[in-house]
Amino acid sequence: SFHYYCKVAFFNAWIVAMATLLSPIVALRGRSVENMKVLRAVILPLKHIYGIKIQVWGSEHLKIKEPFVIVCNHQASLDLMGMVEVIPERCVPIAKKELMYMGTVGWACWLCGIIFIDRHRREDAIDVISQTARTMRRENLRVLIFPEGTRNQERSMLPFKRGAFHLAVQAQVPIFPMVISPYWDFFSSKDKKFNSGTCTVRILPKVETQGLSPEDVPRLTETVQQAMADVFAEMS
């Protein structure tokens, strides 16, 4: 477990150090989605440091020019490594608002255009979704969301929250489900295990939302969750 805590501490220290070093540089450009390229560049080396091989299947699906929503399962901080491996240009994650108050990390995230949402204030969250839907169309923005809403290392996914699906329907943009394979073989916060290993990221074909209305969101959420759960089970 000492080995595990050292590796986790280094992971967190790397993120804080990079945020502290790079924030003043990206601040020159101001808040911009273009700063995500810098964030991606500083996270990419972590896979080499930890000996984690990342295989990507289906990245060709994301090669479209219009805006879209990516929904992804959320297991641990390690998801950052899979995320930066596939994140397309002009794509920002939606993160919990608490992250914004985490010193230089929060500032760096804000400068990168990351969208913050208050999960405990429904009306605020609805406002953010509506504003983001308009921005996506206007600025050709892509958005990545973890619909489980929190980290989950169990053998099945948590029920999906509907915000991502309301966003896609409001903006009338497609959804790309993305599944990161389980880390059980090499990482577990419960068992205090953190070794080298292989992780697979699979992007599924797009799910259209054209013509759908808010009434269709529950069914849409269920359909996407089932498709992702099937792939996750297959990868387990």
C-alpha 122/C-alpha 97 separation (Å) is: 13
Domains of the chain: which residue ranges?
2-235
More confident residue, 124 or 54: 54
pLDDT score of 219: 98
Residue 88's pLDDT band (boundaries 50, 70, 90)? very high
Give the pLDDT score at 181: 96
Is residue 167 scored above 90 in pLDDT?
yes
Cα(154)–Cα(152) distance, rounded to whole angstroms?
6
The whole-number pLDDT of residue 120 equals: 82
- Residue among 141, 186, 191 nearest 168 (CA): 141
The Cα 194–Cα 187 span in angstroms is 4
Residues written for the chain: 236
Instruction: Give the Cα separation of 170 and 150 in Å (integer).
Output: 24
What pLDDT does 154 receive? Answer: 81
197-203, strands of its sheet edge to edge: 52-57, 197-203, 175-180, 69-72, 142-145, 91-96, 115-117
What pLDDT is recorded for position 119?
78
* Residue 28, number of CB atoms within 10 A of its CB: 7
- Rounded distance, CA 201 to CA 92, Å? 18
List 83's β-bridge partners, or say none. Answer: none
Helix locations, 140-210, DSSP H? 163-171
- Spatial separation of the C-alpha atoms in residues 83 and 40, rounded to whole Å: 9
3-state percent breakdown (helix, strand, coil) of the chain, nearest 5: 50, 15, 35
User: Structurally, what CATH architecture does the domain formed by 2-235 represent?
Assistant: 3-Layer(aba) Sandwich (3.40)
The Cα 204–Cα 179 span in angstroms is 8
